[in-house]
Amino acid sequence: MSQTESEVPQNYFHKPLDIPILLSGTFGELRSNHFHSGMDIKTQGRTELPVEASAEGYISRIKIQRYGYGKAIYITHPNGYQTVYAHLNHFSPDIEAYVKQAQYKKESYTIELFPAEDKIKVNQGELIAYSGNSGSSGGPHLHFEIRDSNSRPMNPFLFGFKDIQDTKAPMIRGLYAYPLTKESIVDGKRSRKKIKLSKIGKDTYKAEAIDAFGEIGFGFDAYDQFDLAYNKNGLYSAEAFENGKKIFETKFDRFSFAETRYINRMIDYAFFKEHKKRIQKLFLQSNLNLDLAQKNDHDGILRMDQDSTSITYRIDLKDYMGNTKTIQIPVETKRASELPEIEEKRTPYFAQSNYASAFDNNQIDVYIPKNALYEDTYLDIQFGFNEIKVHEYTTPLHKSMSIGFDVSEFSEEDKSKLYIAKIFPWGSYYYSNTKKKKNRFVTYTKDFGTYGLKFDNEKPTIKPVNFRDGKWMSNYRYLKLEIDDAETGIDAFHATVNGEFILMEYDYKTKILTHDFNDNAVTETRNKLKVVVTDKVGNTRIFEANFNRKK
């Protein structure tokens, strides 16, 4: 039983779907640049399952965006908590009508609404929406969140929802030792070392004995599974012990969105970028301001500087149900007879973590704000022609840096097609959000790598999917078009019939724009459709067609 469980209401929140709960994602799970803020409830591979209010309250926010949560509802409850339901297919009829009215008024598919407290009240179990796969969702599921009154997401298991069969302890994929200072060594080496494990009990492993000197730490790569689903989920807690005394702990009860990006400091970021596997570190380093990793006064670091010391280091990895995997690691002090030389790569571009840094040549400037780097770093910066390499993609950035290009050499016509691209070593590139001032284009990015100026001369494409010019569409519910843009991507679209706005929903995954004739926006028999699509530099394509429709 978690300490926090006694501090929150038990069984106040009901499950939002009327099916047995199986999860494809757990709270705190390590994701790209963030910890997962809710639980992902499997929807049997389908969409359109009724989604119910988890408890009484009022709908305080409705958001529709192309990416992220897609269509989402937020309910504020009388006890101060908020629940969130995301990747929805559509809303219940009343809410759908309310949202569509606002979309037609704003003439926009994407929208964010904050209904007043007395506007849409809901009872526990009341239908609010239908599950879907909208936004950045990799398959049909419901993302469900509980947030405290300070908008911090909390582990839903603290409140209940524990009616899930789970008898399996977490599975460990890899265990690693890290020398942490210039004087530290592990088994004679000054680099990360993978440690061999052998099974000594059902859920107990013993590691090969390691020799170490100086400050060292450990990290693991593991996942958890429930009994009735194949999905590889995140763990609940990880604890480290030195001779039985706890020296480090992370536990996913609650975090704040402001600290979620510190995941890049908590994991071995370079290893993740190179191998697509996340090693969670069991020790603290500078510039890790993450509450869930700072549970006590200890930092998780073993200090092996007394001769002939032997320590038993132990790791306990747990899921929320308490299933535990234990790993024992014998560590002995051993000075290296001969220390390998450290090669520190010095460059003219030294950036200190506690200060902002700026570098430039005649055309290109780079600005890295204070506390964007986790460590003082000699940056590898190479200024090229209309292109710059800014350090290595394996180094994390906590905040955005800016990269600016002087474009005064380009004609006005060229400037209108020009943008800043992120360029990969193998030559492919994509649009990096480009702010255009008169003679300076700038991009803000949290990824080190190569950036350069590129042209986009191609207009977007627009293709009718279920009609052609002059077609009778009386028996059709939907009007569908496919839109695409090869280079910078779709920025905006606008559709009218006989000069009046019609709402079209856009799914970036299928590239389909859909109008629902049940909106009753199309009232005439003879109709002239006009669709305007713009890419991110402003190239515009206009599509026009006629269709007929009798009520």
143 token code pair: 């993302």
d(CA 124, CA 463): 44
At residue 550, the 3 state secondary structure works out as: coil
**CB-CB neighbours of 154 under 10 Å:** 21
Name the residue nearer to Zn ion (CB basis): 17 or 327. Answer: 17
Residues that bind Zn ion (CB under 5 A): 25, 40, 143
Contact 399, 356 (CB under 8 A): no
Name the residue nearer to Zn ion (CB basis): 85 or 98. Answer: 85
Name the residue nearer to Zn ion (CB basis): 142 or 207. Answer: 142
Closest-approach residue to Zn ion (CB): 143
E-strand stretches of 284-415: 302-304, 310-318, 324-333, 349-351, 357-360, 364-368, 377-379, 381-383, 387-390, 396-406
Question: What are the angstrom distances between the C-alpha of 229 and each of 132, 224, 234?
Answer: 20, 11, 14
- Taking the complex as a whole, the smallest distance from the CB of residue 510 to Zn ion amounts, in Å, to 20
- Taking the complex as a whole, the smallest distance from the CB of residue 65 to Zn ion amounts, in Å, to 15
- Taking the complex as a whole, the smallest distance from the CB of residue 32 to Zn ion amounts, in Å, to 12
- Taking the complex as a whole, the smallest distance from the CB of residue 112 to Zn ion amounts, in Å, to 19
Name the residue nearer to Zn ion (CB basis): 25 or 460. Answer: 25
Question: What are the angstrom distances between the C-alpha of 499 and each of 111, 461, 472, 480, 544?
Answer: 22, 21, 19, 18, 12
- Taking the complex as a whole, the smallest distance from the CB of residue 252 to Zn ion amounts, in Å, to 14
Name the residue nearer to Zn ion (CB basis): 143 or 314. Answer: 143
- Taking the complex as a whole, the smallest distance from the CB of residue 41 to Zn ion amounts, in Å, to 9
Closest to 332 in 3D by CA, of 185, 196, 199, 192: 185
DSSP-assigned letters across all residues of 484-525: E-SSS-EEEEEEEETTEE---EEETTTTEEEEEGGG-----S
Name the residue nearer to Zn ion (CB basis): 45 or 244. Answer: 45
Contact 173, 277 (CB under 8 A): yes
53 token code pair: 């209010």
Name the residue nearer to Zn ion (CB basis): 30 or 216. Answer: 30
Name the residue nearer to Zn ion (CB basis): 51 or 284. Answer: 51
Amino acid type, 246: K
Name the residue nearer to Zn ion (CB basis): 476 or 508. Answer: 508
Question: What are the angstrom distances between the C-alpha of 72 and each of 33, 203, 447?
Answer: 21, 40, 28
- Taking the complex as a whole, the smallest distance from the CB of residue 472 to Zn ion amounts, in Å, to 43
- Taking the complex as a whole, the smallest distance from the CB of residue 507 to Zn ion amounts, in Å, to 18
Name the residue nearer to Zn ion (CB basis): 87 or 281. Answer: 87
445 token code pair: 């990015």
- Taking the complex as a whole, the smallest distance from the CB of residue 39 to Zn ion amounts, in Å, to 7
Which helix or strand (DSSP H or E) is residue 546 part of? strand 540-548
- What φ, ψ does residue 481 adopt, rounded to 5°? -135, 155
d(CA 330, CA 276): 29
Burial of 45 (0-12, 13-18, 19+ CB in 10 A): exposed
Which DSSP symbol is given to 226?
Answer: -
- Taking the complex as a whole, the smallest distance from the CB of residue 110 to Zn ion amounts, in Å, to 20
